[in-house]
Amino acid sequence: MTTSRLVLCLLISISANTYVYASGDASAGQEKSSSCQGCHGPDGNSFSPDWPNLASQNTTYLAKQIRDFQSGDRKDPTMSSMVVGLAQGDINDIAAYFSTQAIKADAQAKAGAGKRLYEGGNRYSRTPACASCHGPNGVGNGPGGIPSLVGQKSGYTAKTLRDFKSGTRSNDRNGMMQAIAAKLSDKEIEAVAAFIAGMGS
């Protein structure tokens, strides 16, 4: 294990205890998520390459993102207005519902350089492998609040990485994603986003 991977794993294990794990009612969440479904789909598979899939995402991560949109720690005018009136119980129920839905990966997505970067990182730029935190199969870590990447929309993933790189998005734990994205070229971002879109297909 490289030094950078070891440091990442240690940071994750230390900070995982700061998360409050979401526990909700998926049945109640289906009804409560009706306004979410217009963009993210009835089953959490979004209608646009630029909007994230929520299907199969772990509840801890989903709940945190909703709370961050409410607090302003994560900024998006559309999302902030959609979640403003949600209580914690509503958030937990919605997260529980989407977490139980099956992801629909893009079977046409390409691997290539994105696969190499995801699995092995880039030793020249000292970029750690995505798999170091998100797992070799991309399922993330629910208790640690690390999101699943399986089948995520390529446009959304690329935008997310660019936002972390520019600092537009900064609600990542200990600035880890900002530090990693800062090392990625535009070509690498597009490649790894394309690979992630096809995971699970």
**b/e string for 117-130 if b means 16 or more Cβ within 10 A?**
bbeebbeeeebbbb
85 falls in which pLDDT band (50, 70, 90)? very high
Does residue 5 lie within any of the structural domains? no
What's the sign of the alpha-carbon dihedral 111, 200, 69, 155?
A: positive
4: three-class secondary structure by DSSP: helix
Number of domains forming the structure of the chain: 2
Please calculate the CA angle 161-165-166 and round it to the nearest 5 degrees.
120
Percent of the chain with pLDDT over 90: 84
pTM recorded for the entire structure: 0.84
Euclidean distance between the first and final Cα of the chain, in Å? 29
Quick one: pLDDT band at residue 2, thresholds 50, 70, 90?
Answer: low
53 and 112, same domain (yes or no): no
Check pLDDT > 80 for residue 201.
no
pLDDT digits (tens, 9 = 90+) for 172-197: 999 999 999 999 999 999 999 999 99
- Give me the domain span that covers residue 30: 23-99
Residue in this structure with the two tokens 């230390």, named with its chain if needed: 14
Assigned domain for 149 exists: yes
C-alpha to C-alpha distance for 54 and 41, rounded to whole angstroms: 9
Confidence band for 23, pLDDT divided at 50, 70 and 90? confident
Where does the chain have alpha helices with state H? 3-15, 26-32, 37-40, 59-71, 77-83, 88-99, 113-120, 131-134, 154-166, 176-181, 186-198
State pLDDT tens for residues 132-159.
Answer: 999 999 999 999 999 999 999 999 999 9
Residue 84 and residue 31 share a domain: yes
**What pLDDT is attached to residue 105?**
93
Which of 44, 78, 99 marks a domain boundary? 99
β-bridge partners, 141: 146
Of the residues 99, 124, 154, which one is the last residue of a structural domain? 99
